[in-house]
Chain A
Amino acid sequence: MLPSETKVLIVDDSVHVRLLLRATLDKLGFPPVLQAADGEEGWQLFLTESPHLVFLDQIMPRMDGAEVLARIRSHGADTRVIVLSSVAGAEKIIHAKEMGADHYILKPFTREKVAEVLSQLGWEIQVEADS
């Protein structure tokens, strides 16, 4: 898959995670991404926009990541979901994989980690030489 042809949705209640992930994806060649600050908003955006890839935080107000993931999977869409989680939620990650997440990224994340996970999921990531 080509990053430039991928519609991405980031669902996370931390504005810094959204901004930094957006900047990271921009560097990796993705087009401007969609963003949601909680699960409910994320789910609504998913329904209207049908993204190819969703970055999904676990603990969020209104609707948590597990619920959004369950809805995405029962919706039947072929969307890739990468769960974002803190170290404290290790069991939650395993649970998320059982629930149908494609991969996970631990916070705090690095650009390299994001690139690595996306490569593993089949995106053609150009790793630029670090300045």
Chain B
Amino acid sequence: MEGTKLRMETSDFSSDSWLLSKGIILFLGDQMNIARQMRRDLAQTDSRLISCRTEKGVRRILDKCAVDILILQDRSMARPGVGLLHRLRHSYPDDPFFTLLLISPEEHEYLSAAFEAGIDDFITVPYDRLTLLGQVRTGIRSATLRRQLTSKNDNLSAAVTSYEGAFNQVGALAHELQEKNQQLEQLNSLKDEMIDIVAHDLRNPMSAVEMYLDYLIEALPNLPEEPKSFLLNAKTLVADGLTMLSELLDISNFETGRIKLHPDIVQLKPFLVPIVERMNLLFRQKGIHYDLNLEEAPETWILDKKRIGQVLENLLTNAAKFSQRDSRVRVCVSEHDQSLNISVEDEGQGIPGSEISIIFDKFHKGFAKPTADESSTGLGLAIAKQIVEQHQGTISVQSRIGEGSVFTVRVPSHPPLPNHTEESLQVAHVAQ
């Protein structure tokens, strides 16, 4: 609003002629002779004096001009003068004008009330010219400084406002982010539920298809080669699909914590040998040799037989999948630092360094391809990792391209023993 008002240049206080203050001075009083005298005294300066007799006149000027000094003659200061100053300050809170009271020596008792009402300084009449010029200079300078201060304040409060705006915006964004996160979590659990439902609902019909195929294959032993191979292909595809479904269910059950371990004291040799021997057929088909080294294996260990068996089967299946004919797979079981170490070493294609860190992620399918076009869900290692971690253990891999890989499972000696009641144990067993 100040910008719209007529302003005079008031910046030039540095010259020698300090008297040449530029400003607008407003005189309110009824003694026009004093006003005239002042105008004469200020004639040499660049200031301009405007005189008014009434509050209304003062307001008219204040509305239009950026006034630097308001001079109040004593009689107007006496009631209702104090009230007048209050009203003006109230109406023009942002106007920086300097108020100067003209007062006669015998009226000095009013001064305290006048200062309280908000005057800045006073001049006793009759005044001497230099005092007036000095006060005018002070007043103009003060008004200028106040103006600058106001503008700085404006800038500052604009800055504060914009800071507050930014702050609120950040708050709103954080809130939005939180909501989005919640939505994502909901979507994620919805996705898990969907996978669960789909996997369950697909499993029954697919198992039925698999059994029908089994019966057909059995019932038609004398089929010609081609239809027979079609039936066998169909059976392989369905079996692969079922494996994928059961892996999907496994991973979803692990992630939702529905699978609990059932650790037991396990005799390692009778536990491990049959698992490796079950793989015999697979290894033979691909012409892969295998060793099982139990020389340094402890007699017993506490672990969940079914689940660790699943991990070992997965590692062996992978080793077979990614190995060439006539290569070797070594399984070595030993005890180190109170941990059971099971390592499966192959002479396969190896895993690139960039994949090592993500090879245990869900749905990861790596650079290496199965050597006999076997199927892969990319879930086996993720499940293995879940199982091993539930045993408080680790699973890791070392690999060299072209030379092979070693997967090592570490199960510490004291995995958590189940703290379920008999009944919940039964339910969990049944659920599996």
Contact = CB atoms under 8 A, between A and B. Distances in A.
B125 interface: no
A131 B214 CA distance: 10
A70 interface: no
Contacts of B427: 90-91, 94
A23 to B, nearest CB: 5
B204 A86 contact: yes
B279 interface: no
Contacts of B214: 111
Interface string A85-106: 0111011011000000000101
B118 to A, nearest CB: 84
B230 interface: no
Given A20-B211, A20-B212, A23-B215, A90 B204 contact: no
B190 interface: no
A11 B233 CA distance: 33
A16 interface: yes
Contacts of A111: 211, 214
A107 interface: yes
A125 interface: no
Contacts of A34: none
A131 B208 contact: no
B87 interface: no
In this complex, the interface size class of chain B, counting residues with CB under 8 Å from chain A, is: 10 to 19
Nearest to A26: B215
A93 B430 contact: yes
Residue among B215, B217, B221, B430 with the highest chain A CB neighbour number at 10 A: B430
Given A107-B204, A108-B204, A90 B431 contact: yes
A16 B208 contact: yes
A86 B208 contact: no
B226 interface: no
Interface in A99-130: 104, 106-111
B225 interface: no
A108 B207 contact: yes
A35 to B, nearest CB: 16
Contacts of B218: 131
A16 B200 CA distance: 16
B426 interface: yes
A17 interface: yes
A84 B386 CA distance: 30
Contacts of B211: 20, 23-24, 108, 110-111
Contacts of B206: 108
Nearest to B242: A108
B205 interface: yes
Contacts of A23: 211, 215
Contact of B200 (A86, A91, A93, A109): A86
Contacts of B7: none
Contacts of B208: 16-17, 20, 108
Contacts of B286: none
B199 to A, nearest CB: 10
A87 B207 CA distance: 14
A58 to B, nearest CB: 13
A14 B200 CA distance: 15
Nearest to B211: A20
Interface string A57-94: 00000000000000000000000000000111011011
Contacts of A110: 211
A94 B430 contact: yes
A87 B215 contact: no
Contacts of B205: 16
A87 B431 contact: yes
A88 B212 contact: no
A39 to B, nearest CB: 19
B361 to A, nearest CB: 26
A14 B211 CA distance: 15
B200 A94 contact: no
Given A16-B208, A20-B212, A23-B215, A108 B431 contact: no
B362 interface: no
B262 interface: no
B364 interface: no
A91 B218 CA distance: 36
Given A20-B208, A107-B204, A131-B218, 4 more contacts: A14-B204, A23-B211, A91-B427, A108-B203
16 contacts: A14-B204, A16-B205, A20-B211, A24-B211, A86-B200, A86-B204, A87-B431, A93-B430, A94-B427, A104-B430, A107-B204, A107-B207, A108-B206, A108-B207, A108-B208, A111-B211
Interface of B: 200, 203-208, 211-212, 214-215, 217-218, 221, 423, 426-427, 430-431
